[in-house]
Every structure is written in C-alpha cells, then in structure tokens.
Amino acid sequence: MGYMDKDIAPQNDGALIDAYSQSIAAAIDIVGPAVSRIERVGGRQGHGSGFAVSPDGLIITNNHVVEDAKVVRITTPDGFVTEGRVLGRDVDTDIALIRANTSTGAWAKLGDSQHLRRGHIAIAIGNPLGFEWTVTAGIVSALGRSMRAASGRLMDDVIQTDAALNPGNSGGPLVSSGGEVIGVNTAVIQG
C-alpha cells in the first residue's frame, strides 16, 4: 500500500472543473459584450472580430481584418449594427484602430501581458466564419515567440496559446482569467 500525505490528497475533480468553468465564464461575462464582428464595406469583402477599448467606440482589430478598407460595419453581440472608420493601421504588427460612429456600450480593460507565465489560462473570443460569437480556452503555451506579419516584418514577443483560433477570430481579444485583454488573436500565419 502506498502512502499519501493528507495535505496533497486529490481534491474533488468536480470542484476543480467547476472552478475552471466559473473562471472562464466570469471572464467572458466581463469581456464578451465588448467584442464585435467587423466587416469591410466596399472593395474586397471580408470579416473578423474586434473589441472596444473605450466607451466612445474605439475598437482594436487586426490590420488584415480591415486590409485597405476605410469604412467597416460593426455588429455588437446584442445585434446592434453601426459603421465605423479605420483611424490607423500598422501592417508590421497587424494591428488596426477603428472609431465606431456611436458608443459601443461596453469596453474591455487592457491587461499587462508582461506578467503572463506559461500555463496561465488564455481565452480567445471571436466571430469565426461569421457564426455567432464563440469562445475557446486553453493556456499560454509559450511567450516571446516570433512570427511574420503580412509585410514580411518579424513580430517579436508574440503570445502562443493552445486555444483554438479559427479564421474570423482574428482581431478578437485574448483574455486572462481575470477578464483583461492580454493580446489580440491572430489566426493568419504568414510563411
């Protein structure tokens, strides 16, 4: 018979799963209302996700979601549709900033990714392939990775997660279990 210290005895697996589930659900409740579907208006069609970061309608997304569009259509989780204009873009970091024509109602708090560790919970919220908003969860599997932007520039300090990212999740937030944005989902990998 083996010896087991009572202080390290297995806990109730149901309680652990429930705590994990509650952590994910709470983070989604905090950030989910700030996540919108972003569609290009005119020119080449396409869509992805974005998330409001201020009450006056500033939205962050990926540059490859908006590409060369000047105007985008924004659909919030409650079905409200408005337009917005692309204020700026950085091809080298694949980030774009949009200003919605109206307030988005909810906004996400930006966290500090410098305090992340491998193994921390990572929650990806987005709008894959135009379906309803989805959530996937995993962990931060690596920090400080590099990947190529569409411009060919090597982006450093990329967060790698095993949370599934699908086309359409691009531009959505990568969220901590505390409900803070720790990164921007990028589902397009350049060769």
Q: DSSP assignment, residue 176?
A: -
CATH 2.40.10.10, domain 109-184, yes or no: yes
Does residue 64 carry a catalytic annotation?
yes
Question: Per-domain residue ranges for the chain?
Answer: 109-184
Neighbours of 80 (CB within 10 A): 13
pLDDT tens for 5-32 read 445 555 566 676 788 899 999 999 999 9
CA of 101: how far to CAs of 55, 73, 85, in Å? 12, 10, 8
For the chain, give the percent of residues with pLDDT over 70.
86
pLDDT tens for 59-107 read 999 998 998 899 999 998 888 899 999 999 998 889 999 999 988 789 9
Place of tokens 């970061």: 53
For the chain, give the percent of residues with pLDDT over 90.
52
Q: What is the pLDDT of residue 3?
A: 44
> Which one of the listed residues 94, 115, 141, 156 is annotated catalytic?
94
Does residue 92 carry a catalytic annotation?
no
Quote the pTM value. Answer: 0.85
> Which one of the listed residues 64, 92, 162, 177 is annotated catalytic?
64
